Amino acid sequence: ADQLRLSVAPMMDWTDPHCRAFHRVLAPHARLYSEMVHANAVIHGDRARLLAMDPSEHPVALQLGGSEPELLAQAARIGAEAGFDEINLNCGCPSDRVQAGRFGACLMREPALVADSVAAMIAACASLEKPVPVTVKCRLGVDDDHEWERFIAFVDTIAAAGCRMFVVHARNAWLQGLSPKENREVPPLRYDWAYRLKVERPQLQVIVNGGIADAAEATAHLGHVDGAMLGRAAYHTPYLLHELDVRWFGGALRTRGELLRAYRPYVEAQLGKGVFLKHITRHLLGLFSGQPGGRAFRQVLSEGAHRPGADWSLLEQALALTGREGVAA
């Protein structure tokens, strides 16, 4: 049987290395994903920055954008050599900029090209010491595609190229007239297609994504698919990741304060390298969301982290305000 998979979604501007290192503390068993990086950027850009990763992050996937098999293959190999544990191809992003470059969600209309890309990526990673799987993150279709046959043909074509795991953001992408943000909210969710995919292709690993708001919802999906990928809920209410990790994989539930302090060595190491505290704390604001003192915690961090010389003591200061009812916010 496939391993149960708890994943944190790739999110541009959000799932940077500081964020992922934090999520790792919260959820030791989760699979983490990078922000999307275009294959061209990996090949020609500032690799040290684009592929930056802390050793604590494993297992972590690099998400690539692109649609040229040769370039994707080169980028996949570079990512695998840089230590990423999985290379994921973005077939779900609907933004205009992405469509102009002919990748992201519009690739759902080009299964043969995606299959060629995946095959080239797998071949490029095959000769490595440690095999690195190539996976795909997709939607159900684009615009008014509503035929199951079209979706399953997309999956089958890519599976035939060697892809075994599909992350299904269980809604269509509407390529006209919706912003990327609206494209994560407006097209209706249809989890039943992800479930049906698992029923009809049990040999594939199917991870469901989209609109999963809490631990009960995430857990309910496990009756149908191999795992769940959480995006916005994980980012805004990160303690949810910890609850899910403990619920699915076992271990003792730790408090938010304990988890924050377990992140301290990472924070101190980064500060030592000259990283500004605000680049780290922006990912922590939701840790006490919905808890007594949660707003004060957020406020102290967002106001104090910008000050020159801000260091760990700010987090202790913020922490001291939590757990008490009625703390001024």
User: Where on the chain is the footprint of ligand FMN (CB under 6 A)?
Assistant: 9-14, 35-36, 63, 90, 92-93, 137, 169, 184, 209-212, 230-233
Nearest residue to ligand FMN, scored by beta-carbon proximity: 231
53's CB contacts (< 8 A; 6+ apart) are 17, 20, 34, 60, 82, 83, 84
Q: Tell the smallest beta-carbon distance from residue 229 to ligand FMN (Å).
A: 7
Instruction: For the beta carbon of residue 222, count every other beta carbon within 10 angstroms.
Output: 15
33's enclosing H/E stretch is strand 31-38
Instruction: For the beta carbon of residue 144, count every other beta carbon within 10 angstroms.
Output: 8
Comparison of 184 and 315: residue with beta carbon closer to ligand FMN: 184
Q: Tell the smallest beta-carbon distance from residue 197 to ligand FMN (Å).
A: 16
Comparison of 234 and 300: residue with beta carbon closer to ligand FMN: 234
Q: Tell the smallest beta-carbon distance from residue 188 to ligand FMN (Å).
A: 13
Beta-bridge mates of residue 227: 5, 207
Q: Tell the smallest beta-carbon distance from residue 227 to ligand FMN (Å).
A: 13
Comparison of 36 and 72: residue with beta carbon closer to ligand FMN: 36
Q: Tell the smallest beta-carbon distance from residue 157 to ligand FMN (Å).
A: 20
Task: Cite the active site residues.
Answer: 93
Comparison of 93 and 124: residue with beta carbon closer to ligand FMN: 93
Comparison of 191 and 263: residue with beta carbon closer to ligand FMN: 191
| CA separation for the pair 81, 103 (Å, rounded) | 24
DSSP state of 57: G
Distance set, CA 41 to CA 30, 45, 54, 212, 298 (Å):
27, 4, 20, 31, 34
Asked if 29 and 245 count as a contact pair (C-beta separation under 8 A), the reply is yes
Map residue 210 onto helix, strand or coil.
coil
Among residues 193, 191, 131, which one has the least CA distance to residue 162? Answer: 131
Buried b (16+ CB within 10 A) or exposed e, 281-296: bbbbbbbbbeeebbbb
CA angle 38, 284, 241 (to 5 degrees): 80
Asked if 99 and 175 count as a contact pair (C-beta separation under 8 A), the reply is yes
Q: Tell the smallest beta-carbon distance from residue 215 to ligand FMN (Å).
A: 13
Comparison of 97 and 273: residue with beta carbon closer to ligand FMN: 97
| CA separation for the pair 59, 174 (Å, rounded) | 32
